[in-house]
Structure 1
Amino acid sequence: MIGEVSSVKFKCRNILFTTIVSLLFLILSSCSSSETVTTSSSQEVEISSDSSQPSLEIAVKEVEPVVPEVEPVLPVTVLDHAGNTVIINSVERIIPLDGSVAEVVFALNLGKNVVATDRSATWPPEASELPQIGYQRSLLAEPIAGFTPTILIGTDIAGPEKTLDDLRRLGYPVVIVPSESKIQGPAEKIRAVAKALGVPNRGEILAATLESTIAANTQFIDEQKRPVVAALYIRGTGTQLVLGRNSATHWLINAAGGKNIADILDIDQYKTITAESLLRAEPDILLVPSAGLDSVGGIDGLLEVGGISQTPAGINRAVLAYDDQLLLGNGPRTGDLLEQLVADFQAILAQIKNN
């Protein structure tokens, strides 16, 4: 009896299996020799079973290229980084309130419209040759208003706030753009400046190129193999600081393959240089703005600053100096700076290894 039941079950399974196979064959046979499938992006993909035809044909939609504006598209309304809604009707007379913004304006091919800059604008050379309105942190409304600007653009460093409020009350559009000390910061600044000036496409092209350069040069190295790098801000004997995580140098050092002393010493803003802290962190490389290095008489003078001469960097004279605006500005040349930092870090490490 048990054998008969098993036999019946086996026969049923056979019949069921045969039925399923037959149905599948009929379904496949009823399909045409080619099928058209619509993908999630609404592109048509043709799959052909005819051996005389390509097995896969994909109709790819072309991406529209970003076309730079011939002239600024105005008026434009922006919500700036300070939370203010600003209407810009003209960009004929631009005043950048700091050097990095001035550099962006020139990179957007609107340098001819800049009528004045602050003292920190050192690049491009034509920016430094323009009349100056003072220093970005200590601006006065009267000299700025004397240039009858149609737009003022700065970062949150610009001030004091009373001066900016006075300029707004006088009817001058004041736009504050982001200047975050992070890897995305330079591109964000470029896009914000470009939008305020009515040339967002020019900004997108510039920002995308910069992002590509940064991505191509960012280093991924084991923590143990990274040189310890200290970014210093020096102004003679009066100002001698270790820069922290909130400086643009922080992400640059990490991206270039270094280990930042700010992380070792837990510094966010900045800290006065002391022999104790430097000897504890043991930096292999010192990174300084060139004007700061000049202010203490070059490398020899820098080695006299608290404890530096006793560090590995001091012993090997491993000091890298770059233009102040380039190093600290987080501007449109930052990708090129990163590429240079990578090469310089590697050269110093090779030199130390050979000594």
Structure 2
Amino acid sequence: MRKLNHVGLHRRACLRAAAALAASCTPLAWGADKAAKRRIVSIGGALTEIAYALGAGSELAGVDSTSLYPAAATRLPGVGYARALSSEGILALAPTLVVATEEAGPPSVIRQIQAAGVPIEVLAAHHRFEGMLSRVTRMGELLGRRLDAQQLTQRLQADWQAARQPVLARKEEGPQVLFVLSHSPNQVMVGGKGTAAEAMLVQAGARNAVQAFSGFKPLTPEAVVAVQPDAVLFTQQGLEAIGGIEGALKLPGLLQTPAGQKRRIVAHEALFLLGFGPRMPQALAALDASLQQVMRTKA
């Protein structure tokens, strides 16, 4: 018992010390003293992209492991995976602000950061273009870059309309696409309703093949054969994890579907495809183009 108490006291002491360090670097009035350099920790790849798009990349003090774009973000100190954060790791960077999506956690870490007196802003993790624009606006407010946010929003709206135009111009029904999430050949899931992948597929004029459930469930050959997908969508990382296209074609049941028989496999980098950040218009255009290309495959 004495040892446990000592560990608990040591942990609290570390948190207090980190909080004191953070407080010593925090401007007296957030955003009022322009001479004081902001130190922002961004938890969420899309938020990090927005910060850079607003010209605030130099103000980032640390990022989570999903912040892979732009390349400069990968050279910043890391604070771990967004869903498994450590308050000590974040507070050690002496942040003046933490921005995170609502997927960040665990909740106890969020509370510890708040208790340390560090401002933390939690933004909704929308799977919609309008939601992404809302995050741009809010980030502009937090970073004192409202005009930059307005200009970025205008560019994004124009890019989005251009990306959606060919989708809206088509009259025929879009392909039925199965989204497969894989970390290894033994860890393969399929995406149902309400997923980020479904949101992107719908915007690209396609249909999510799985409508029997929400979220993700393990892939079964019976389920794959039952939905008869026209094409299969992976993240690039996921496709590589199972051995590329040849590995994908070995998934149970896939060769009994049009997608498998005609080798209609599509893959895009995970953050690009599903991040819902400022590259969302480009991601939509790329997804649409790749689906249209594989659907021209006859055999």
Pairwise same-fold verdict (TM > 0.5)? yes
Letter of the structure 2 residue corresponding to residue 339 of structure 1: A
Q: 1:160 aligns with which of 106, 109, 113?
A: 106
Amino acid at match of 1:299: I
Residue 95 of structure 2, aligned match among 149, 158, 161: 149
**Residues 155, 178 of structure 1: 8 Å contact kept:** yes
Q: Which among 197, 204, 208 is matched to residue 249 of structure 1?
A: 197
3-state SS of paired residue (1:249): helix
Which stretch of the first structure deviates more once superposed, 197-206 or 282-291?
Answer: 197-206
- 1:260 and 2:208 aligned: yes
Task: Kindly provide the CA deviation profile for residues 28-81 of structure 1, in whole angstroms up to 9, marking residues without a partner as x.
Answer: xxxxxxxxxxxxxxxxxxxxxxxxxxxxxxxxxxxxxxxxxxxxxx8469xxxx
Task: Kindly state the Cα deviation for residue 223 of structure 1 after the two structures are TM-superposed.
Answer: 8.0
CA separation in 2, counterparts of 1:182 and 1:286?
A: 22
Question: What one-letter code is carried by the residue in structure 2 that aligns with 1:247?
Answer: T
Does 1:183 pair with 2:129?
yes
Q: Secondary structure at the match of 2:297?
A: helix
Q: Which moved more, 1:129-138 or 1:174-183?
A: 174-183
Kept in 2: contact 1:221–1:257 (CA 8 A):
no
Give 1:239 deviation, angstroms.
2.7
Structure 2: distance between partners of 1:224 and 1:316: 20
Match of 2:162 among 202, 216, 229: 216
Classify 1:309/1:220 alpha carbon distance in 2 versus 1 (closer, same or farther; 3 Å): same
Partner of 1:281: 227
1:199 and 2:183 are equivalent in the alignment:
no
Alpha-carbon distance change, 136 to 90 in structure 1, aligned in 2, over 3 angstroms: farther
> 1:91–1:197: 8 Å Cα contact kept in structure 2?
no
Kept in 2, the 8 Å contact 1:223–1:259? The answer is no
C-alpha separation in 1, matches of 2:271 and 2:182: 14
- CA distance in structure 2 between the partners assigned to 1:190 and 1:154 by the alignment: 13
| Aligned position for 1:138 | 84
Do the aligned partners of 1:75 and 1:198 also contact (CA within 8 Å) in 2?
A: no
- Residue aligned with 1:175, SS: strand
Aligned partner of 2:185 in structure 1 is: 237
Asked if 2 retains the 8 angstrom alpha-carbon contact of 1:119 and 1:136, the reply is yes
Aligned position for 2:260: 314
3-state SS, counterpart of residue 198 of structure 1: coil
Q: 1:303 — aligned with what?
A: 249
For 2:99, what is the secondary structure of its paired residue? strand
Q: Are the structure 2 counterparts of residues 291 and 228 from structure 1 closer, same or farther at C-alpha, using a change threshold of 3 Å? A: same
SS of the residue corresponding to residue 271 of structure 1 reads strand
Confirm or deny: 8 A CA contact 2:262 2:297 kept in the other structure: no
d(CA) in 1 for partners of 2:214, 2:134: 22
Which consecutive residues of structure 1, in runs of 5 or more, have no partner in the other structure?
1-73, 78-88
Normalising by the residue count of structure 1, what TM-score does the alignment of the two structures yield? 0.70
Q: TM-score, normalised by structure 2?
A: 0.83
Indicate the SS of the match to 2:190: strand
Establish whether residue 121 from structure 1 lines up as the match of residue 58 from structure 2. Answer: no
Determine which structure has more spread, i.e. the larger CA radius of gyration.
1
CA distance in 2, matches of 1:114, 1:343: 34
Where relative contact order (Cα < 8 A, 6+ residues apart) is larger, the structure is: 2
For 2:175, the equivalent position in structure 1 comes to 227
One-letter amino acid matched to 1:220: L
Larger helix proportion of the pair: 2
Contact 1:226 1:259 in 2 (8 A): yes
On the 8 A contact 2:113/2:120 being kept in 1, the answer is yes
C-alpha distance in structure 2 between counterparts of 1:123 and 1:311, whole Å: 35
In structure 2, the CA distance between the partners of 1:320 and 1:90, relative to structure 1 (3 Å rule), is farther
Q: Aligned with 2:129: secondary structure?
A: coil
The one-character-per-residue Cα deviations of 1:228-270 (angstroms, maximum 9, x if unpaired) are 11122111034311123322222221121211113xx233212
Give the match's secondary structure for 1:153. Answer: strand
Q: Structure 2: where are the runs of 5+ without partners?
A: 1-28
Q: SS of the counterpart of 2:293?
A: helix
The answer to whether residue 217 in structure 2 is matched with residue 271 in structure 1 is yes
